[in-house]
Amino acid sequence: MIFPHPVTLKEAMETRAARAILPTDMSAKMLSSLPREVRERAIFSAGVQNVDFLERAKEAIDKMVEGVTDRATQRTALRALADRFDMSALQSDSRLNLILDTQVKMANGFGNFIEGQHPSILLMWPAQELYRAEERKEPRDWPARWEEAGGEFFPDDFGNCVNWTTQSKNDLIICLDDKELWSPRVSWLLSNAYLQGVEWDDNALQIDLSSEVSKLQRSRNFSLLGVAEQLPSLSERYGRQAKGNDHRTSRWIEGVLSGELSLGNDRGTEHQPSHEPFAYLERKDASALSLGNRERNNIALHPRASSRWLVSRKGSDSACRTETTLSNADYAAGRMIALKTDPIWTDISAFDLPYAPFDYNSGMDLRDIDRDEAVDLGLIDEDDTQNPEELSFNHGLQAAVGISGKFGLGFALGQFLGDLASVNGEGIVKFLGQ
């Protein structure tokens, strides 16, 4: 299938409907090594060679994508089928859920990706954010994966913040003790997340921070530990270097905290090194850190007038909940945002695809970042535009892909690809790109 021009969602979904089944006994890891174009067009599941089962699974997935049936119904039907075929590996709820969820999310993710590549939409929403859409008991460390792929972190919803977790159970919060540095959004955060019940109106823009610190100190959740002219470095504080020393984020944290770096942004607006005193606020009730998905525990080292600042996540929501997880987080990350055309989306994907889901049962999804915010974050200049990513089925298929005959995949791929490929006697599939 060739998409010589940006395609509509309808076209994309129709293409999706034309997917073929691909019986294989390859493992999930082996499957991930297949070319993207094959994985996008094939319905398969690791180790599943039964064509009838895959046909039925495809029907189930199509119906679920259409919204005419639910997972429980289809899972029950598939399990009955697995029973009949004596496929013991497919009789567990978790395995069947994984198959159905992954494929449905793939279809939705693909549709969203194609939709997002429309020129008008790309113009309006040029970037996207990876975020936790569904909670998990043991979430993967997505910020680490993001960082490893070279991703940049951005301030969270509540303002330009830096925060991190400590190795102790309590949460250390560090704030610049200068009222001019405090944005109204940070004040809002303070009032709402930590001083619940205290409301601020627009007049709160002119708050006197020292009085707010006193309020915080008086509140039952905080104690003022002290005020220092300069913060200790991360290495001094934690006895070792922060993760990713070569990454800008950690360098900034280190530099800012040591006073060696200017507070500033990437766009040339430099500020003087921070000599302002810091207020140390420690949260006493660490157990109260079990915050909901939308109540990230953020607070606040706010550089003045910086439009691009780093940042951090206060651990994932669940990372706040246990001492063990906290001790693994040298510092927290921030929002994971990049242009839609950035290769990082493929880089973070276990499936090597530029759209969600990026891993099995990850709970992560994407949401649009509009142009104004993307400009504010420095991702794009005001006058910049992006070219939609063209999807060409043949584009990535010029290379021959060696696939061992023991996987029984060569013939299946040949059937699946039709005229687009030839299979030689050794099970090597040669893709005939145009």
Partner 1 sequence: MIAVELKITVDTATPALQALGAALEPQNVLPVFGRSVTNTVRDHFDELEADRPNKLGGARTHYYSGARAGTKFVVDGEMVTVGISQVGIRFRYFGGTIRAGQNPSSVGGKPTKYLTIPATAESYGHRAADFPDMVVLWGKSGPFALARQEKKTIAIADSYGTKTLSTEILFWLRETVEGAPDKTMLPDDSEIRDSVTRDFNRYVKTVWRTRNIPRGE
What is the contact surface with partner 1 in residues (CB under 8 A)? 5-10, 65-73, 75-77, 79-80, 93, 104-105, 108-109, 111-112, 115-116, 118-121, 123-125, 133-135, 292-294, 365, 367-368, 370-372, 382-385
Q: How far apart are CA 412 and CA 248, in angstroms?
A: 47
Q: How far apart are CA 109 and CA 198, in angstroms?
A: 41
Residue 35 token pair: 């070319």
CB 342 within 8 Å of CB 301: no
Of 316, 366, 306, 312, residue with least CA distance to 337: 366
The residue among 41 and 371 lying less far from partner 1, judged by its C-beta, is 371
In the DSSP assignment, the letter for residue 58 is: H
Q: Cβ of residue 157: shortest distance to partner 1, in angstroms?
A: 12
The residue among 110 and 164 lying less far from partner 1, judged by its C-beta, is 110
Q: Cβ of residue 65: shortest distance to partner 1, in angstroms?
A: 6
Q: Which stretch of DSSP H or E encloses residue 243? A: none
The residue among 34 and 64 lying less far from partner 1, judged by its C-beta, is 64
Q: Cβ of residue 368: shortest distance to partner 1, in angstroms?
A: 5
Q: Cβ of residue 19: shortest distance to partner 1, in angstroms?
A: 17
Peptide bond into 357 cis (omega under 30): yes
Report the sign of the C-alpha dihedral through residues 295, 301, 307, 311, in that order.
Answer: negative
Q: Cβ of residue 214: shortest distance to partner 1, in angstroms?
A: 33
Of 119, 114, 126, residue with least CA distance to 1: 114
Q: Cβ of residue 97: shortest distance to partner 1, in angstroms?
A: 9
Which residues share a beta bridge with 172? 282
CB 297 within 8 Å of CB 339: no
The residue among 286 and 375 lying less far from partner 1, judged by its C-beta, is 375
Q: Cβ of residue 385: shortest distance to partner 1, in angstroms?
A: 5
Q: How far apart are CA 23 and CA 52, in angstroms?
A: 10
- The structure tokens 């119906």 sit at 63
The residue among 62 and 171 lying less far from partner 1, judged by its C-beta, is 62
**Residue 150, by phi and psi: left (phi above 0), alpha (psi -120 to 50) or beta?**
left
In the DSSP assignment, the letter for residue 193 is: I
The residue among 94 and 206 lying less far from partner 1, judged by its C-beta, is 94
Q: Cβ of residue 151: shortest distance to partner 1, in angstroms?
A: 21
The residue among 95 and 302 lying less far from partner 1, judged by its C-beta, is 95
Q: What would you measure as the largest C-alpha separation in the chain, in angstroms?
A: 80
Q: Are strands 20-21 and 42-43 parallel, antiparallel or unpaired?
A: parallel
The residue among 71 and 215 lying less far from partner 1, judged by its C-beta, is 71
